Structure 1
């Protein structure tokens, strides 16, 4: 429809035909502010900063029209992120970090296509390429090494306990930090259960406490009555700082962060002890089984045990076959 308002909007470049990249970014961040988690929004703001710098340094402009987005723009932006050297002491963005920024830009351009601000997706010929990294986790021997290492400082002991609690429950740092004493319930089996929601996905998680996790929880029960928090958790930065020294003092030479406890729960505590992956997925609060498979590793020990069972099965089969032959009876083996 041709109206005075439409003519004015087209003249000023304010209609949908002339939407700009930064308008799209602003629209996305404003509308998603109450939908996405603060941590996720922080990442989108980081991508916006990279876009601002790229436009100013490489395109000598503050903004561009959405219709100017192209495959060339995407690849140039990728190279800019890969080679950008921050003024502060920080590493250049890794391959996966770069891909994350491009993935966020892709989500925003997909939104523009849905809003009909863009006719075609500029990412249609571009493929994100992530490098699969081995996720660090602890073996049972290493868990025991940490557990058996004692520290004079009560702070170190607390960080150690909280980390081990996460190893035996699979909860992430923020989920452990937000645990309230009221979320500890007695289940139908008469044991302690944690009834909580994952901060990241808002999925309800019900976790029966293993004996080690129960011991740690009971250790801080008196303190919990005063604070209402189930466990005394320090800031994420401090926790990882102390944890680094705890791991080193325990004689473990691995890069371990607090999140490694979640991988440890999935791998060493549950899967390697025969817990089905569907149960592990439920305990971790995953919405898709494929997400759990990222954490899951078929451990050498588990492979060995499974093959031993198979060998035993074949031996039994051969023994039965041999007995039947000796008896002279017709064979009807499955």
Structure 2
């Protein structure tokens, strides 16, 4: 026999205060009922008793109706779960589960908070400050969505489904105005949290596993070989500018980011039995390991600054690296003086290394290890960058040899 289920809302008019009345809810299951407070109130004149909702199209009416629909949807999910697992179902059982009584209920923001606290403890050990701040930003974004669209501060893990992640993704793009790459990363964070919840036994099925979205990364600027040679060769009058140019060239041939360059010490420089020089360390941002075999120009730069301690944080540092803002300003001027086709910046150095390595035949898997990327997805972005370059190089080849060869008659 099919069970009967209904949720309706009404107002408690005898508790009127300042013209406003509390909104109540009632669950009905198989003839049993359970009433509860929705913890919201409404002007008595705004309530439609027949429709069980606020009337009109005012902002307050629309917001309240959204919140009541969300309550109704959450109760419906708990009812469906109990219908599949309990042969004797009552309204009180549904309400207790919705209200977090009985079986222990865990929530989305609860597990998010746990991970944020864990990241905070790991700052400077296995996590960078910027990684922690990024996770906090994602938490704030999700919190804003819950309040804005669902009228709540949290949601039980068992209430999550594909509709939740689809709607959150759409909201991030449309309302929040985030780039697809950012929304993609935030969806992946929620997927990761669901795997953690499964490991804890808080949920038994991943609610977002089948949801697919693709990032749309901005084109990352990099120097052509010609522009790189211009930067290397440009005449600079000031020693500090020369040092910044040297550090940028080092980044172009090592793949290190500014933060990694700043932390680079002689302990990271190793020479093997064949006389080859290597950089071995961990990225500041992700703590992922990197291993780079150095070409002669890079080894020369290391030796050039050995024993030159001016502007260095400490004598064991390889280079006199300053703040990134100062370096950006200097590189912009250096690039303009060299006549580069793109704006030169510290980030361009790392991008240049990656595209140069791929264009010369380095496999993606190897480049991933050299750059210290945790996943190959980050590395694949550079593979897309070199496609236009392949076309340009082919055009130049065609101009040079296109008329040299003809098929035999």
TM-score (norm 1): 0.72
Quote how far apart the aligned CAs of 1:50 are.
0.6
Tell me the distance in 1 between the aligned counterparts of 2:142 and 2:378. 30
Quote how far apart the aligned CAs of 1:104 are.
0.9
Distance 1:278 1:189, change over 3 A: farther
Q: Which one has the largest radius of gyration?
A: 2
Give the corresponding residue for 1:321.
none
Quote how far apart the aligned CAs of 1:77 are.
2.3
CA contact (8 A) 2:179 2:216 kept: no
Distance 1:124 1:198, change over 3 A: closer
CA contact (8 A) 1:220 1:230 kept: yes
1:62 correspondence with 2:153: yes
Q: Secondary structure at the match of 2:346?
A: coil
The RMSD of aligned alpha carbons is: 3.7
Distance 1:162 1:14, change over 3 A: farther
Tell me the distance in 2 between the aligned counterparts of 1:256 and 1:135. 12
Give the corresponding residue for 2:261.
176
Quote how far apart the aligned CAs of 1:284 are.
3.6
Q: Which has the higher contact order (CA 8 A, sep 6+)?
A: 1
Q: Runs of 5+ in structure 2 lacking a partner?
A: 1-95
1:264 correspondence with 2:352: yes
Give the corresponding residue for 2:129.
38
CA contact (8 A) 1:160 1:243 kept: yes
Tell me the distance in 1 between the aligned counterparts of 2:362 and 2:250. 19
Count residues in correspondence: 295
Give the corresponding residue for 1:97.
182
Quote how far apart the aligned CAs of 1:232 are.
1.0
46-55 or 213-222, which deviates more = 213-222
289-298 or 9-18, which deviates more = 9-18
TM-score (norm 2): 0.60
Superposition pairs for residues 235-250 of structure 1, below 5 Å?
235-250=323-338
Give the corresponding residue for 1:217.
302
Per-residue CA deviation, residues 201-255 of structure 1 (Å, 9 max, x unaligned), is 53252523x2322332233223249622100112233333433333233222325
Q: Runs of 5+ in structure 1 lacking a partner?
A: 1-8, 86-91, 316-334
1:129 correspondence with 2:217: no
93-102 or 255-264, which deviates more = 255-264
1:21 correspondence with 2:108: yes
More strand, by proportion? 2
CA contact (8 A) 1:198 1:204 kept: yes
